[in-house]
Amino acid sequence: MALARFRFPRPRRVIAAHSRVGSRVLRRPWPSAATRRQAAVPFAWRDIAPALGSPVLGGRPTEARINGWLLVCAAKRIPHLILPRGRDSRLYVPALYENMALHEITAFERERPGLRQEVPARGISPLIPACFLLLAFWHGLRFHWFPFDLPAPLFPAPAGDWAERFGLDIYRVWFSGQWWRCATALTLHADGVHLAGNIVFGLLFLPALCRRAGTGLGLALALLAGILGNAADVALRDAPRISLGFSTALFGSLGSLCGLMGADALRLASAGERLSLFGPKGGLLLPPLAAGLALLGFLGGGAEARTDYAAHVGGFCAGLILAAALLPLDALLRRLAPGREKAVQALLAVLALALFPLAWCLAL
């Protein structure tokens, strides 16, 4: 009878919790849905989704990737629990299985198709064809294609005198210190055929580099490689010679593109491991370099005695060196927000193009 008279307390639903501070009553809201979901995670289980969502493995995890992770955990008999959290998902495993799960899922991620698309291509900016149009306009001013001419005291009237006065004269650069000729020579061409050939090949190499590195960084790599290639031409030659043309910058853009593609292949294959140019995976650099050297030999030479081979080789090597030196800057640009990246790319383009007005001011 005593048990019959006992009444269990009826469960009551608590709407909210309150606390009194002074004369005011404060309402404490209940924990959010994300916090309540964390209570379903067993003790000593760890979230491995942040480690798996690194840029090396493709960035933010997608639904297809998460399904692959679950299949790997099920195949390897790894206890796992997946919970949604905002726009992302969290994959929990016991602490004792953490290293095993990371190892197995990372190996699966390296083998999945489409991983080599980790480096997205950027769009082609209208600044690139505008630069070639400006180069053609400058050539037209030199050869008097237009009804107006440049000031006579500053610019010589005969078009042939421009090469001697502003071209890459090795003697004057080396002994007179006129290093601005390494930049001004890139803007001069012997005739219309020379200009047309450089524009055609420039529309193949330079947009490809800018799609990989961005417009600002791509222009900076190409123009700096052209200037350094002309400087290397001066340093390597001992006989007097005058050369001009934008082709040194074009082969510099080819060298930069080969260097960036080789670095991408090496980084994707390593997938976060320590990179080594001389390790077993260093051979991944050979295909881009071999392709670049083949194009250098096919386009950089020829039967013409007027071709400046040393400048072409110097531009290509300068592009390779600059690409390797600016890899941290390229990685930094990819981590920026789209708006900030465009601003930095625009600043790099302005600084690169400003080298030529500065060189012409020094020349005049």
Going from the N-terminus, what domains does the chain have, and what CATH number goes with each?
Answer: 34-109 (3.30.70), 127-363 (no CATH)
pLDDT at residue 25, as a whole number: 44
> pLDDT, tens digit, for every residue of 202-230?
898 899 899 888 899 999 999 999 999 98
Question: Which pLDDT score, from 0 to 100, does residue 85 have?
Answer: 65
6-20, 86-100, 139-153, 264-278: which has the highest mean pLDDT? Answer: 86-100
Please report where in the chains the tokens 């040393």 appear, as a residue.
310
Mean pLDDT of 241-246: 84
Output the pTM of the full model. 0.65
Tell me the pLDDT tens digit for each residue of 18-62.
Answer: 444 445 444 444 444 444 445 678 888 888 877 776 443 445 567
Local confidence band at 119 (pLDDT 50, 70, 90 cut-offs): low
- pLDDT at res. 290: 79
Q: What is the per-residue pLDDT across 313-334, written as a single tens digit (0 to 9) for each?
A: 889 999 999 998 998 898 888 8
Please state, rounded to an integer, the average pLDDT across all residues of the chain. 77
Task: Supply the pLDDT for residue 69.
Answer: 83
- Output 176 or 348, whichever has higher pLDDT: 348
Per cent of the chain over pLDDT 90 is 15
Q: Is the pLDDT of residue 158 over 90?
A: no
Which residues are registered as beta bridge partners of 92? 47, 81
pLDDT higher than threshold 90 for residue 116: no
